Amino acid sequence: MTQVVTYLRDKLRDTPLVSPEESAAEVFKMLNRDLTQTERDALFKLLLVKEAHQAGLFPKKPIDMNALSDKLREGAYPYKNRYPNKLYEKELYDLQVELLKLQDWVKRTNSKIIVLFEGRDAAGKGGTIRRFTENLNPRGARTVALSKPTENEAGQWYFQRYCAHLPNPGEICFFDRSWYNRAVVEPVMGFCTPEQTEIFLNEVTGFEQSLIRGGTHIIKFWLAVSQDEQRRRFRERRENPLKRWKLSPVDIASMDRWDDYSKAIRRMFQMTDTAETPWTVIRNEDKRRGRLNAIRVLLQSIPYDNRDMKKVGNIDPLIVGRAGSLFASNGDPLRFDINNEIGNS
């Protein structure tokens, strides 16, 4: 690049011009005549960067998006800084184009996909689902977010009300919470009996296997957040009028039952993380990183046509893993326990 600048300077020195306008015109001619497109792009970028520095638009110390936490060895979230927004938007665009390819494949092959999202309150389930669906054709993609069961539904076979919302051929369904309410939220909050929870845990694997035998793909996500981050998000909901509707009485009550939730989560993983329907755990302290990686997991899980793996990118192993890998062989949680999400025995 230095050679290009020297070349332009020497050319202008040897050319008799009478005005700044003529100088600019001559530079433009030389750029188009003597430089390749790559050289022109590099020169313009160099000039813009220099101008931005002179205007004070750049911070003195650039943020390193990959800088690791000082407490990484203690199980803390691995990154110090949030993912840069411009890079996030670019990668999200590429991934959403791939999601459209996936949807086209699902429609052409009459495939069925269930993508279910679980996690503690304020883990970012709804926002993550929106990044999956915001550019999909709504005729072939649905979000399912059921309210508490009616009196009639409460007396039915537990899975019955979910069966009405399963995907049709050629459709993708995103579950914002799912039948796994019975494994975590309901027992912790006293909405079901311990016996009902045990029946569910013993039946759910068979239920999911029957869906798979019927040709349905099932992707299960657990979005994990630390207790400090959950409290911060609750505080934001309470103080922001536009988000206040998200803060429910159950959210408030759950704050004092962190350990009870941890025990229920650990039990659920131990009983329902199978080879056919594994749990993918995403550490969602940074929502941008979490959303990008969740989409990548789905795109890498389904063999759709014309998949561009360069656009899909790599899954970040520092924040994404199988639930089964979070436990030692004796069933105890490992030291790096996803922001204390699993809790202690």
CA dihedral of 178, 316, 63, 5, whole degrees rounded to 10: -130
Q: What is the DSSP letter of 323?
A: G
Q: What is the DSSP letter of 46?
A: H
- pLDDT score of 17: 54
Q: How far is CA 244 from CA 131, 148, 234, 238, in A?
A: 21, 20, 9, 5
Residue 325 C-beta-side C-alpha neighbours within 13 Å: 13
Check: CB of residue 240 under 8 Å from CB of residue 195: no
What is the rounded distance in angstroms from the CA atom of residue 84 to the CA atom of residue 234? 24
The CB density around residue 79, as the number of other CB atoms within 10 Å, is 21
Q: Measured in Å, how far apart are the chain's first and last C-alpha atoms?
A: 60
Residue 254: the pLDDT is 81
Q: Which residue, 70, 79, 138, 127, is CA-closest to 103?
A: 138
Which residues are within 8 A (CB) of 275 and not within 5 positions of it... i.e. 6 or more apart? Answer: none
> What local confidence, expressed as pLDDT, does residue 67 receive?
86
Six token digits for residue 235: 């505080």
Residues of the chain with pLDDT under 50: 51-52, 55-60, 328-340, 343-345
Radius of gyration over alpha carbons of the chain, in Å? 26
- In sequence order, the 6+-apart residues with CB closer than 8 A to the CB of 239 are none
d(CA 221, CA 205): 16
Per-domain residue ranges of the chain: 2-54, 72-326
Beta-sheet pairing, 216-224 with 171-176: unpaired
pLDDT at position 75 is 74
Q: Given this model, what pLDDT does residue 59 score?
A: 47
Distance CA 311, CA 94 (A): 6
Is 72-326 in CATH node 3.40.50.300? yes
Number of DSSP helices (H) and strands (E) in the chain, helices first? 14, 6
Global pTM value? 0.78
Strands 320-322 and 279-283, bridge-based pairing: antiparallel
